[in-house]
Amino acid sequence: MAELFRYAHRVTYAECTVGNHIYHSRYLDLLEAARGELMRALGATVLELQERDFIFPVIEARLRYKFPARYDDLLTIEVWLTRVERVRLNFGHRILNQDGKLILEAETFHCCTSRDEKPKRLPEELVEKLQPYLSSAALF
């Protein structure tokens, strides 16, 4: 079983609709924040990688909404890798609330490119650091 990276987030009022649930597109921001913190935990911030001419644009995202998250909920965002190869990097995500209720399942698909958007091989040291988080289990 792959390791899971966990990131905590408290739902803000600004993220919610009048109906008191997180607006659907705001989940993408939460996933991005969790992936960024995973990279930071591995020793390289997204900005540092960008300065070395590596960026990781999202080329596809799949989200499955299970239960609403509400203002002031404390969420745990779990992140792992579902694919790491040459220029591909795919992340699995799961968001749970403070009661352990599944809020969302998601997978994001990324390619590694230079800042001028030309495909580029993933840095080998990053591939090595990501290995403990790699799982063969896809969500969708």
- The CATH number that applies at residue 43 is 3.10.129.10
Strand (E) or helix (H) holding 90: strand 88-96
| Model pTM above 0.85 | yes
In a domain? residue 140: no
* 91 in a structural domain: yes
| Per-residue pLDDT at 137 exceeds 70 | no
- Specify whether the CB–CB gap between 130 and 87 falls below 8 A: no
pLDDT at 2: 85
81 inside domain: yes
Number of domains in the chain: 1
Percentage, residues of the chain above pLDDT 70: 96
- The pLDDT tens digits of the residues spanning 65-82 come to 999 999 999 999 999 999
Cβ neighbour number for residue 98 with a 10 Å cutoff: 13
Instruction: Look up the domain containing 76 and give its range.
Output: 5-133
For residue 139, pLDDT beyond 70: no
